Structure 1
């Protein structure tokens, strides 16, 4: 009898263990993946009133999720404001983040990055009829420039162009509205972010000059998860090779009038 009992309990344990094992194998099992992105950046990560998501970062995230086994209906989107990104990853509130997330040495001490999937740089947005501002040097002519308070772009302007009248607002949306109304002369942040605003209102704004910094956008994930990082890198490479990367750019940012850049190769180091 004891041996029969052992066999019965063994069978029961196996019956319980199998479904548990299956539920952790990927999107087809009914699980969801939680992805952090911006909810307020047109052309990159934007949530509509009906809850739908759009933007280049969103399309990149969707592609990666699908490659990991999670189709659209298995994705849970979570807002990832810039100041909260590391905490969201470290606390396990997201599986990964795609949110104009620049790879820096300081951030790499807290989280890991796959990618980069895009290289951009700080640039300038002006009104479409402005012929005076042609690049950052033009700002020295007592021009009013808007950037976000406490941001890297704002600090760079302070450090490199002390002759500029810098106005610091809380959000880039406020800066763009002030530009449209004539309260300021230009807005400065990463070119791809400016492209999103320009594409949202075709013919109203334009991007001028060449980028005057380099920002390498990566996919943020928990530090030490080399397996997930490698899978995401593979997905980025596939997206670039099959044309989906360029299509995502054209669909979301093509209206800004700047051509799709050459997609970078993941670092894998």
Structure 2
């Protein structure tokens, strides 16, 4: 009888352990598992999010992502950065491929319907980048001149609509190609978010070559993307952002990554404050 009772207890205990293990496995997604976390960033935006030729990761967004992950309890060695290109971001969060995304991810109603956003943690604006010796000093000076943006972007059309209807548009596949065209004189200006433009201008090889005009053609509220319904992670990230700002680490990261371009950044926005 004693043996029978022992067998029943052992079987019951094993069943409980199995169920516990199953529940634990189900509660984790691929974005965070077994003390590791995968974070989405951009790989091709100098000053914001870039994978360097040496395989390191650098930029303001990388610094923000690292700070948040550490506040969530992960060490630097536990963080894996995954490239999340603009068209792939929502699916990466839905599928659990990443736990959160920090990658010049502007909060819009369309995106907010698919994922949740912590923040915003940064306010950028659409602007123009020109050569330092350029006679283009305001948007209207672009009439009759060549404006570069990437294929599929609405930034150049926005410039035409608002300030320079006679600007000649030229589209390249990447911002790096626009920068090369601007440097060589093939184009007279390029346009996108000022944070991205400042990142290129701040690169060592571009120091002193370019200037931002500071036109503030739009408000781009950068948020940290999380899976829809993941309120717990969103709340923790908001607290991490607030701590990064109050500790001075936020301002330090901005100056370190974008300061060389003489970028006049906006103060850190308040959590939940979206500027239209």
TM-score (norm 1): 0.91
The answer to whether 1:173 aligns with 2:176 is yes
- Tell me the SS of whatever aligns to 1:93: coil
CA distance in 2, matches of 1:73, 1:54: 15
Secondary structure of 1:259's aligned partner: coil
Measure the CA separation in 2 of the matches of 1:78 and 1:243.
27
Q: Partners in 1 of 2:209 and 2:267 — Cα distance?
A: 26
Superposed displacement of residue 197, structure 1: 0.4
Partner in structure 1 of residue 272 of structure 2 = 267
- For 2:146, the equivalent position in structure 1 comes to 144
**Among candidates 39, 42, 45, match of residue 38 of structure 1:** 42
| Cα offsets for 1:93-123 (capped at 9, x unmatched) | 1111111010000111111111100001100
Q: 1:8 aligns with which of 10, 15, 18?
A: 10
- Aligned counterparts of 1:40 and 1:250: Cα–Cα separation in 2: 20
Q: Is the 8 A contact 2:115 2:228 kept in 1?
A: yes
Deviations 1:120-140 (A, max 9, x none): 11001111112x211222212
Deviation at 1:19, TM superposition (A): 7.5
Count of matched residue positions in the alignment of Structure 1 and Structure 2: 267
2:97 aligned partner: 93
2:232 is the counterpart of 1:230: no
Q: Structure 2, unaligned stretches of length 5 or more?
A: none
1:63 counterpart residue number: 67
Q: Secondary structure at the match of 1:167?
A: strand
Do the aligned partners of 1:28 and 1:70 also contact (CA within 8 Å) in 2? no
Which structure 2 residues correspond to residues 101-140 of structure 1 after superposition, within 5 A?
101-130=105-134, 132-140=135-143
Q: TM-score, normalised by structure 2?
A: 0.89
Q: Which residue of 2 aligns with 1:253?
A: 258
- CA distance in 1 between partners of 2:155 and 2:265 (Å): 22
SS of equivalent residue, structure 2 residue 147: strand
CA contact (8 A) 1:103 1:218 kept: yes
Cα contact 2:32–2:38 (8 A) shared by 1 = no
2:186 partner SS: coil
3-state SS of the aligned residue for 2:226? strand
Cα distance in 2, alignment partners of residues 194 and 212 from structure 1: 14
Q: Say yes or no: does 1:205 pair with 2:205.
A: no
SS in 2 for 1:129: coil
Pair 146,57 (structure 1): closer, same or farther in 2 beyond 3 Å = same
> Offset of 1:15 from its aligned partner?
5.7
In 1, Cα distance between the equivalents of 2:67 and 2:214?
32
Aligned to 1:194: 197
Structure 1: how far apart are the matches of 2:16 and 2:74? 27
Residue matched to 2:248: 243
Distance of 1:71 and 1:89 partners within structure 2: 22
Q: Is the 8 A contact 2:149 2:170 kept in 1?
A: yes
**C-alpha distance after superposition, 1:203-254 (max 9, x if no partner):** 1111113211111000111111111111111111000000110111111111
